[in-house]
Structure 1
Amino acid sequence: MASSVVFKLAGIMLLCILVAAPLTEASVTCGQVTSSLAPCMPALTGGGSPSPACCSGIKSLNSMASTPADRKAACSCLKSAAGSVKGINLSAASGLPGKCGVHIPYPISTSVDCSKVN
């Protein structure tokens, strides 16, 4: 009888682990990052103030990246995009969240270590 309870308890624990494991993965995709920030391209390449649509995208992305895994994924996408878009002004990119009233816990830069983002 005791071994039956142990097996049931072990089965329940295994089920909990299997259900909880996917929850630790990032849910923010690079596609979401790109589409959220697409309205920001004029401000990133030509300078100037961000549009209301740009700030809305930044705020939306910031709220999507609510877990450390999400923030790391968003950071990696931002880093990759910052390095691949021709004509991007990295100084403008790093200042864009602040111009929209959003604080992010890491700089937007091609040299940021996204593995250290919490």
Structure 2
Amino acid sequence: MAKRVIGWACCVVILILYLISPVANGISCREAVMAIWPCEPFLLGYGIISFPCCFGAAALNQQIATANQTERKGICECLKQVGKSMELQIDQAKQLPQLCQFNATVPIDENVDCDK
């Protein structure tokens, strides 16, 4: 049963990635999501944090830090939409920077205003 739900969630994410427009600075929504894809088990609440997860999350955080405001907004909107569609555990997501030992460039919050 759990494998079916995970498979269905993966299909939804892939569909969303193709529907969302690319983000500027060469970082597409697909690339942003793929960077944190290894975090999926942790973010869905059934896995532990892993090195690939932390590596991808820290790399994406660095790309966000060097992006301009318009680019950050695009990445923010992308991740917000994908997070809602997959019903990620926001409490897990908020722990990611601390567990992976990096300072989040933008707040991790499902209600974040991507315009700011």
Q: Distance in 1 between matches of 2:74 and 2:97?
A: 17
- Mark the CA change 1:98 to 1:77 in structure 2 (over 3 Å): closer, same or farther: farther
AA in 1 matched with 2:73: K
2:72 paired residue number: 71
Aligned pairs, number = 91
Structure 2: gaps (5+ residues) = 1-22
Between the two proteins, what is the percent identity of the paired residues? 34
CA contact (8 A) 2:43 2:92 kept: yes
Alignment check: 8 A CA contact 2:61 2:105 kept: no
Q: Retained in 1: the 8 A contact 2:29–2:78? A: yes
- RMSD across aligned positions (CA): 1.9
Q: Which structure has the larger Rg over C-alpha atoms?
A: 1
Partner of 1:50: 49
The yes-or-no answer on 1:80 pairing with 2:81 is: yes
The AA in structure 2 aligned to 1:55 is C
**1:47-76: CA deviation from partner (whole Å, max 9, x where unpaired):** 554100000101111122212333222211
Correspondences of 1:8-47 after superposition (within 5 Å): 26-27=24-25, 28-46=27-45
**Partner residue of 1:105?**
105
